[in-house]
Each structure stands twice: as C-alpha cells, then as structure tokens.
Amino acid sequence: MIARMWEVRALGSGFDELLTWVCDKALPQLEVLPQHVSSEVYSSTDKRIVVISTWRHSPVALPEPPSSLVARSPHVWDFTPVDR
C-alpha cells in the first residue's frame, strides 16, 4: 500500500475554483484506475488543498492544475506503512 500526499496553494481568489477542479475533474480521473483504493480531500484557511490517496501499487499523479489558479506548482510525497 502506498499513500500519496498532494498539496497545492490557491492563487488569490481562485480557491473555490481550484477546489472544484480537484473534486470534479482531477480526482475522477484517478478513482477509476484499478490500483486506486481511496482519496480524501482537505483544505486549510491559508488556501491550501491536500489530497491523500491510497494505492495498491504504482500511484498515478493528479493532472497539473490550471496555472491561473495556483500560487506555485503542487508538491507530492509518497509514504508507505511502517510495521511497528
């Protein structure tokens, strides 16, 4: 199992439009893939959006968001479970 964290910050007043893009356009493209397990979307008061998706193997990247909506390129990190 692999967890992928994807984080982006909205530019100016584009937060609502960026959130709609993530939920209605980007995530549906991933959720149909056989290796996709689940995705959760979080937002913060400083206009950040975080998607945490879990994968059986080989995570797939979210598409690039519209550049007019983001303050900078998204950051991505992959995590694997730790046996303890």
What are the structural domains of the chain? 2-56+73-79 (3.30.70.100)
Query: What's this model's pTM, rounded to 2 decimal places?
Result: 0.93
Residue ranges with strand state E in the chain: 2-9, 36-43, 48-55, 75-79
Report pLDDT digits (tens) over 67-78: 999 999 999 999
> Contact 55/1 with Cβ under 8 angstroms?
yes
Distance CA 71, CA 48 (A): 10
pLDDT in the model for residue 67? 93
**What length does the chain have?**
84
Neighbours of 66 (CB within 10 A): 13
